[in-house]
Amino acid sequence: MADNPDADHLPQTEVGIFETSLRETIELLRNIKITPVLMSLPPLNADMYFKWISKNNPLTQSNILKWLGNVPRIYSWQENYSSVITKVSEETLTKLVDVRSAFLQYPDFTKFLCRDGMHPNREGHKVIADKIIDYINTGYDYLLIEKPAATSGC
């Protein structure tokens, strides 16, 4: 992309193919008696991600922006994939764990991301885990292993 900003750069998986694959996977799982559960994507920090992929190099940044247009487009692009997950969840009546909203409830969700602006850090993974545990506790608590009761020691 930075080497050839005038070329047409497509994502690794185009959004239409992503949606089709998601629907096919849900159907496949249901056909073999597995109940799928989807998860929305954690948000990313477009500025941090842009700096990371450009290695904070002004020439690389300029070339990427020539193709991209603006840095906030990175957030919108990724948000679009998360929206597809939510839409497919609703249309196929598939359960959804909405981790995106769990991150966005914090005024500065970026504190839960690694330096690359995309991957959750340790605290971000805790946000995800807590959201999954909340989901399990709202109707699937039988999946949790109960801790043994404390004994008196005698």
What is the 3-state secondary structure of 30-71? HHCCCCCEEECCCCCCHHHHHHHHCCCCHHHHHHHHHHHCCC
Q: With bands split at pLDDT 50, 70 and 90, how would you rate the model's confidence at 154?
A: very low
pTM given for the model: 0.85
**Is pLDDT of 63 > 50?**
yes
Q: What is the mean pLDDT of the chain?
A: 90
Task: Please answer whether residues 117 and 56 qualify as being in contact, where contact means their C-beta atoms are separated by less than 8 angstroms.
Answer: no
SS3 call for 23: helix
More confident residue, 153 or 55: 55
Write down the CATH number for the domain with range 15-137: 3.40.50.1110
Q: How many CB atoms lie within 10 A of CB 26?
A: 20
**Is pLDDT of 150 > 80?**
no
Q: Which of 69, 28, 20 shows the shortest CA–CA distance to 46?
A: 69
